[in-house]
Amino acid sequence: MNETAESTELSDRQDMDALGAGDDVALNRLMSRHGERLFHYLIRLLQDETEASELAQETFVRVFLNRQRFDPKKKFATWLYSIATNLARDQWRRRSRHPHVSLDAQSGDSGQTLANVLPADQRSPCEELEREENAQLVRDALAGLPEDLRTPLVLAEYEEMPQAEIALALGCSVKAIENRIHRARQRLRAFLARAFLAAR
């Protein structure tokens, strides 16, 4: 574990202690440290910016409500992502059988989409179009994965969470996580191969 990760874990434990002792401002520090990454994790899971924002907020509400139940021997981030993943599962159950993809949804009062707030680069219009088409293919491929494969893949690839932590967050064995990530990657590769062949 690198120094930054150790420092973050220490700060998380201190803030959870403070939150448990009645210092509600500690929640703001936890949100500052983890809020943005959690939001992007939920976007990748739900493929909907508005739902991701609502669930990120609800995750921290649950942290606050369950602050006395947090085990300081465990890693806060694992607990946080476990709460968020359970909320995402509940959201999937509420949706119809046909998921909708809405990464272009406008966010908040700004009226900007996720694409508008990502850093600009100096690609040519043709390169930019190709990059966006490829990114959309990956989003479609992720959206097409069943939830039990998509969640561990997103945690591993985008959140760079070790498989042991993913297993703790999702409540299953490390071997099961390893198998799910392997199957998810196989499905993604097959989907993308078909899509690229069809585009030729």
Contact (CB, 8 A) for 164 and 75 = no
- Name the token pair of 121: 């680069």
Contact (CB, 8 A) for 101 and 47 = yes
pLDDT tens digits, one per residue of 145-172: 999 999 999 999 888 899 999 999 999 9
Q: In the chain, what are the domains?
A: 1-118 (1.10.1740.10), 120-200 (1.10.10.10)
Q: What is the pLDDT of residue 124?
A: 57
pLDDT at 198 over 70: no
Q: What is the pLDDT of residue 136?
A: 75
pLDDT at 43 over 70: yes
